[in-house]
Every structure is written in structure tokens, then in C-alpha cells.
């Protein structure tokens, strides 16, 4: 599943390829993905020029010169391929034709992604999102949010009202680097711990974005597709392996998701 760093990498790729171009055609090859495509999608999109590509949480927001915004989410397995020469893949569901003669193809085997268009004012999926981790978001912001939360900190940082786009992998990694147990109750975290955690979340996400930026060039050279790059994790998916502290990485299930952690260095 694409996490925030992958989505940011996709945003960078789309922005460099799409900005300033006019949409000359749209092919929708199914009724929808996770949700049906809006009936007026083609009418509102074709003929507009792309002004900017932004990201909010794991949503891609494509600003059009009409004032509308095209909203894309990659779901579990979505992928945009730029300058594609082939759009006949089994899971190629959407093709966008641009005025430079190129086509961008959206492929999504599991079809949990989405594509929508809205007036740029408000969208129900965006309205209640919490702060962006890489923008102005401080330890004190987190501390205030957690004051009345009695669930484990791991569960809380996956809550999109607390902070957006951290995701399971980066929650595990940031907690390990912060020395905080994933089972610790959120309202028991001291302000210093919140500061440490916020710092580590920003670092793990930034490192992954940088790694993505460096693989992006190779990816585009290979097949033009964006996202999905290999990672090095300290604890994620490493049950039974040694932690850097000498302890052993364990797995537990919280809220239906696997948590990887080390009880020797996370208290």
C-alpha cells in the first residue's frame, strides 16, 4: 500500500509532467473504482489546463484552470504511469490524454483507489483531516491532542484526526526511534516524549521521501510508473530479528494491524 512518502513521490512526478498541460481526452474503462466515477467527470476535466499538483494526506489534488480540483487516491495498489506507450494492461482503468500527445495511465489491480472532481471549496473526504506531519506540526500540538485519549499511542498516531498520513509502517518506525512503547496510553505521554515522537515522525517520512526522490529517476527511466520503492526499516516486518539495541523485535496486533517493536528500548 502506498504510504505518504510514495504519494509525495507520485505528486512530484505528476507535477513535473502535468503542470501547464491541457487535458485533451479521458477514457474511463469501468464505472468506477472504490466509488463510481462522477457522471460529469469527463465534461469537467477535458479541455481544462492543469495548474498545480498538490497533496493532502494521501490524496493527490490536481488544480485545474476552471477552478475545479481533480482528486486521486491510490488506494491499496494504484499507480500512475506517465508518457505511457501502452494502455492495454488488464488493470489499466483510466487513461488521460494530454495536449503534448502523451497519455498517463492509471492502473489499479485491487481497485481501492478513487478519482473524483469537485469545486475546490470542500470535499467530504478532506474536510475532517488533521494536521500534515511535514508542515507546521509540533510536539505541543500532539501533546494537546492526546491529553484526553486513553487508547495506545500507536492507535492514536494512525488516527487521521490526530495527524494525517503517518501509516502503519512509519508509526512503528517512529515509535521505535523515539523509545516509546506502542502500547503506552496516549494520555500518559509527557510533552518531551511528544516532541521526540513528532521529530522522529518528520525524520522517517522525510528520509523515505528523499529515498523515493532518488529512485524516481530510475523508475521513470524504466517504465514511467511512479511510486513504490524499496525501504530499509529498523523494526517493520522484522519479527524475531535483533533490534539495534541488542533486544529482539516482536510483533503484536493493535486495532487489527501488526505492530513491530522492541520491548528492550521502547518504554
Q: Which residues are catalytic?
A: 2-3, 58, 257
Query: Shortest gap between Cβ of 179 and Zn ion (angstroms)?
Result: 8
Contacts with 178 (C-beta within 8 Å, 6 or more apart), sequence order: 193, 196, 197, 199, 200, 266
* Piece of the chain touching Zn ion by CB under 5 A; list 49-57, 179-187, 203-211, 259-267: 259-267
Q: How many residues bind Zn ion (CB under 5 A)?
A: 6
Q: Is 255 left (phi over 0), alpha (psi -120 to 50) or beta?
A: left
Binds Zn ion by CB under 5 A, chosen from 85, 138, 258, 264: 264
Query: Shortest gap between Cβ of 192 and Zn ion (angstroms)?
Result: 20
247 forms part of the interface with Zn ion (CB under 5 A): yes
262 forms part of the interface with Zn ion (CB under 5 A): yes
Cell numbers 496516549: residue = 186
* Piece of the chain touching Zn ion by CB under 5 A; list 19-27, 160-168, 207-215, 235-243: 235-243
Burial of 46 (0-12, 13-18, 19+ CB in 10 A): middle
* Piece of the chain touching Zn ion by CB under 5 A; list 49-57, 137-145, 215-223, 256-264: 256-264
Binds Zn ion by CB under 5 A, chosen from 4, 198, 226, 265: 265
CA–CA dist 23, 29 (Å, integer): 17
% helix, strand, coil for the chain, step of 5: 30, 25, 45
Binds Zn ion by CB under 5 A, chosen from 54, 245, 255, 258: 245
Q: CA of 3: how far to CAs of 23, 67, 75, 146, 179, in Å?
A: 27, 28, 10, 23, 22
Query: Shortest gap between Cβ of 265 and Zn ion (angstroms)?
Result: 3
243 forms part of the interface with Zn ion (CB under 5 A): yes
List the grid coordinates of 63: 488544480
Query: Shortest gap between Cβ of 246 and Zn ion (angstroms)?
Result: 7
Q: Interface with Zn ion by CB under 5 A: which residues?
A: 243, 245, 247, 262, 264-265
Amino acid at each position: 500500500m502506498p504510504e505518504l512518502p510514495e504519494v509525495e513521490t507520485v505528486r512530484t512526478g505528476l507535477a513535473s509532467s502535468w503542470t501547464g498541460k491541457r487535458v485533451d481526452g479521458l477514457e474511463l474503462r469501468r464505472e468506477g473504482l472504490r466509488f463510481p466515477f462522477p457522471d460529469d467527470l469527463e465534461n469537467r476535466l477535458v479541455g481544462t489546463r492543469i495548474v498545480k499538483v498538490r497533496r493532502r494526506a494521501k490524496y493527490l489534488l490536481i488544480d485545474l484552470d476552471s477552478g475545479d480540483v481533480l482528486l486521486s487516491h491510490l488506494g491499496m495498489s494504484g499507480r500512475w504511469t506517465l508518457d505511457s506507450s501502452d494502455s492495454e494492461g488488464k488493470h489499466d482503468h483510466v487513461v488521460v490524454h494530454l495536449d503534448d500527445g502523451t497519455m498517463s495511465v492509471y492502473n489499479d489491480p485491487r481497485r481501492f483507489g478513487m478519482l473524483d472532481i469537485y469545486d475546490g471549496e470542500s470535499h467530504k473526504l478532506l474536510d475532517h483531516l488533521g494536521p500534515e506531519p511535514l508542515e507546521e506540526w509540533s510536539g505541543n500540538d500532539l501533546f494537546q491532542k492526546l491529553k484526553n485519549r486513553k487508547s495506545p499511542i500507536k492507535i492514536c498516531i494512525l488516527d487521521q484526526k490526530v495527524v494525517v498520513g503517518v501509516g502503519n509502517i512509519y508509526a512503528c518506525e517512529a515509535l521505535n526511534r523515539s523509545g516509546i512503547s506502542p502500547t503506552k496510553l496516549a494520555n500518559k505521554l509527557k510533552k518531551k516524549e511528544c516532541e521526540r515522537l513528532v521529530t522522529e515522525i518528520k525524520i522517517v517520512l522525510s528520509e523515505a521521501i528523499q529515498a523515493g526522490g532518488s529512485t524516481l529517476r530510475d523508475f521513470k527511466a524504466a517504465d514511467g510508473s511512479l511510486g513504490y520503492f524499496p525501504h530499509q526499516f529498523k523494526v517493520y516486518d522484522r519479527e524475531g530479528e535483533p533490534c539495534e539495541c541488542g533486544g529482539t523485535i516482536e510483533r503484536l496486533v493493535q486495532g487489527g494491524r501488526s505492530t513491530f517493536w522492541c520491548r528492550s528500548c521502547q518504554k
